[in-house]
A = this chain, B = another copy of it.
Amino acid sequence: MPAPLKVAILGCGVVGTQVARRLTEHADELASRVGTPLELVGIAVRDVAQPREGVTGTPLADLLTQDAESLVAGADVVVELMGGIEPARSLILRAIEGGASVVTANKALLAQDGPTLYAAADAAGVDLYFEAAVAGAIPIVRPVRESLAGDQVQRVLGIVNGTTNYVLDRMATDGLELEQAVKEAQTLGYAEADPTADVEGHDAAAKAAILASLAFHTRVALDDVACEGISAVTADDVAWAQRTGHTIKLLAIAERNAHDGVTGIQVRVHPALVPSDHPLAGVRGAFNAVFVEAEAAGELMFYGRGAGGAPTSSAVLGDLVSVARHRVLGGRGPVESSYAALPVLPALAARTRFQVRLAVEDRPGVLAQVAAALAEHGVSIEAVRQVAYPVPAGDGDALALLLITTHAAQESALAATVTALTDLDAVREVVSVLRVEGA
């Protein structure tokens, strides 16, 4: 059996601790899968004196070191689990330059600076694996990079943020308002004290950028992602979604599209109505799922836990076994090339169906006016439903609620239509505008 491989872990939070423990507890099994033992040579932390659950008082404590640079210099495989941009970025680059293979779970870093890291790994001829950076334990990077290597992805729709999925699920099941559901998620540890990054879609946008890059072999930066969170979603929106056979989900979307004669990709994050019989609609609680439409494979979905110490450690260890096998047997994993280099289309190029709720005066002719406003902007109506407006109007006028579902329309046309509708006398309020996906 070849010499053991030296494994260095950077960071000893929940995931780092789990990875270190599984490396120790399953040493024999891992050795038989890799072809040689994996020797954990150190765990870099900022402060070795800080007490750590599952580490302090165990043999793992002897592996802690504050000298990350020396640790990286002597390792065959570096597992980066510290998160954040620096010093993670510099340490990964140093590891790559030193010829080590790298496994990382750092989505923020990959979304911001992935292409630099991919290019460095490619130039050095080492592996850079990052399954845990997108959708936690769900194997999505490997299927997209390898299983679909002979296919062409058309569209990716992902529920990639467990916090917002939990919040929307609670709003749907118990009619909670957003604020209440977020508070509950915080109590249960699903949401941070400051939930902004989740609620406003920033976390999902980082994952969308990585997923889009992978699926379309194109460099997609975080700034390329049009991002809208769930902060404007009301209990009323959720209830109306259910009444019309839908579920509201925060989706990360990357799709091949044509705009002004140019074929490119369009990447965005926003809440969307998903038909209740669509596989994504059944993704409950804090679970994640990524739905992929490929030319030959058709519809695929990958479902599982998108976060948490144990699930993330599973993905990290799967990567670790892959890159370690390459060191033993030769060979390398797929290279993150951006050979397709498709243009990234502007957000206004997206084409989706929409559901618009309007509070209108309850009198003959209003629907005709509304329909004319839509037609004028080239937006075609699929269905209209008119009901008594649920909240009595203060001024005594009888109001009706118009629920309009459109055929696919360009984002820009819809925006113009909404402005036109707002200007109609008979329209008291554009109550809500939600995109419909997955139909």
Contact = CB atoms under 8 A, between A and B. Distances in A.
Interface of A: 18, 22, 26, 29-30, 32-33, 131, 137-139, 142-143, 146-152, 277, 279, 281-284, 287, 289, 294-305, 308, 310-311, 313-318, 320-322, 325-326, 329-332, 334, 337, 339
Number of copies: 2
Contacts of A302: 300-303
B304 A303 contact: no
Given A142-B142, A300-B304, A151 B318 contact: yes
Contacts of A22: 150, 296
Q: Looking at A26, A149, A299, A315, which has the most chain B CB atoms within 10 Å of its CB?
A: A149
B332 A329 contact: yes
Contacts of A308: 298
Contacts of A311: 296-298
24 contacts: A26-B152, A33-B149, A137-B296, A137-B297, A138-B300, A139-B147, A139-B148, A142-B143, A146-B318, A147-B315, A149-B318, A151-B314, A277-B282, A279-B283, A281-B282, A287-B299, A295-B310, A296-B317, A297-B304, A297-B310, A299-B303, A301-B302, A326-B331, A329-B331
A151 B330 contact: no
A151 B320 CA distance: 11
A70 B147 CA distance: 29
Nearest to A301: B303
A243 B24 CA distance: 48
Contact of A282 (B282, B314, B326): B282
Q: Looking at A33, A296, A303, which has the most chain B CB atoms within 10 Å of its CB?
A: A296
Contact of A298 (B137, B277, B321, B331): B137
Contacts of A339: 32
Contact of A318 (B139, B148, B305, B317): B148
